[in-house]
């Protein structure tokens, strides 16, 4: 995929992630039970004032996370899902507030899980997985060039890449634990103004591209080096890798 194509995909990706996050926050803040009707695609599209394609992408993300279900028919629409235990764990993380859990604690746990997650990705990735990871890595690179100073597009693409890596493993305990940590950090950092312009992320795309290529390959030493470089980037950026 060309950089121009990646850049054109980025705004919809970022906005869809934002809409999905707002819906997740509403479910958590209002303690909405499984089966609660959130509305229809059209009503939610109007509420969030987004294009149909953006709303559809947000719906796809939420379905993949086990957050919502879609029912057809006259009385159908979009409903809060009745999630399995591992998805409820993720929601519990999002509901935590105050000083009970810190972003730094979550980042420590996330860093501890990433070597295992990367090895799982290398072991189980398909050609389709690799193509999607490369697309997301290109979107990160495009974001550094096109982002405003808040870096929102870069961070959205970054989190989407890491979530996609996590989706490769068949180990659902590992996957949901990691994604829960990622979403907790993402929700805590969303809306926080960075300490500098998005050019501070200029080294991030190269590190993530190498991580993707290491996952695509068969060299464990290369993968270990890529994971170590990513850990160093995480430490330097405080979660905005």
The three-class DSSP label of residue 68 is strand
33-58 residue pLDDT tens? 888 999 999 999 999 999 999 999 99
Give the number of other CB atoms < 10 A from CB of residue 128. Answer: 8
Q: How far apart are CA 50 and CA 37, in angstroms?
A: 20
102-130 residue pLDDT tens? 777 777 888 899 999 999 999 999 999 99
- DSSP code, position 195: S
Give the number of other CB atoms < 10 A from CB of residue 99. Answer: 6
The pLDDT of residue 220 is above 90: yes
190-202 residue pLDDT tens? 655 454 444 456 7
Contact (CB, 8 A) for 5 and 141: no
19-31 residue pLDDT tens? 988 898 888 788 8
Q: Where are the alpha helices (DSSP H) in the chain?
A: 3-29, 41-48, 52-64, 85-95, 103-124, 127-146, 152-166, 172-189, 204-216, 220-237
Range picked from 36-50, 69-83, 175-189, 196-210 for highest mean pLDDT: 36-50
Q: Which CATH number fits domain 101-238: 3.30.565.10, 1.10.150.120, 3.65.10.10, 1.20.120.530?
A: 1.20.120.530
Q: Which segments of the chain belong to CATH 1.20.120.530?
A: 101-238
Contact (CB, 8 A) for 70 and 76: yes
**In this structure, what are the phi and psi dihedrals at residue 216, rounded to the nearest 5 degrees?**
-70, -20
Instruction: Please provide the distance, in angstroms rounded to a whole number, between the alpha carbons at the two ends of the chain.
Output: 22
Contact (CB, 8 A) for 67 and 78: no
Q: Which CATH number fits domain 15-80: 3.90.1150.10, 3.40.50.80, 3.90.226.10, 1.10.10.10?
A: 1.10.10.10
Q: Could you tell me which of 129, 140, 136 has the C-alpha nearest to residue 241? A: 140
Q: How far apart are CA 161 and CA 9, in angstroms?
A: 14
Q: pLDDT value at position 78?
A: 95
Q: Which segments of the chain belong to CATH 1.10.10.10?
A: 15-80
């Amino acid at each position: 995929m060309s950089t121009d194509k990646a850049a054109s995909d980025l705004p919809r990706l970022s906005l869809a992630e934002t809409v999905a996050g707002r819906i997740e926050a509403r479910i958590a803040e209002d303690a909405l039970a499984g089966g609660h009707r959130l509305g229809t695609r059209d009503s939610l599209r109007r509420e969030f004032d987004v294009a149909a394609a953006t709303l559809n992408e947000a719906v796809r993300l939420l379905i993949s996370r086990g957050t919502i279900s879609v029912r057809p028919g006259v009385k159908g629409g979009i409903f809060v899902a009745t999630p399995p235990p591992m998805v409820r764990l993720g929601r519990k993380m999002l509901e935590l507030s105050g000083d009970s859990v810190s972003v730094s604690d979550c980042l420590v746990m996330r860093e501890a899980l990433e070597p295992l997650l990367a090895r799982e990705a290398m072991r189980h990735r398909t050609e389709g997985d690799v193509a999607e990871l490369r697309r997301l890595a290109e979107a990160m690179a495009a974001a550094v060039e096109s982002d405003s100073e808040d870096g929102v597009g870069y961070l959205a693409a970054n989190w989407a890449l890491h979530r996609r890596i996590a989706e490769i493993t068949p180990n659902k305990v590992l996957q949901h634990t990691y994604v829960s940590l990622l979403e907790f950090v993402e929700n805590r950092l969303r809306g926080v103004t960075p300490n500098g312009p998005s050019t501070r992320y200029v080294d991030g795309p190269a590190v993530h591209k190498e991580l993707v290529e290491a996952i695509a390959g068969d060299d464990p030493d290369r993968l270990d080096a890529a994971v170590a470089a990513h850990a160093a980037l995480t430490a330097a950026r405080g979660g905005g890798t």
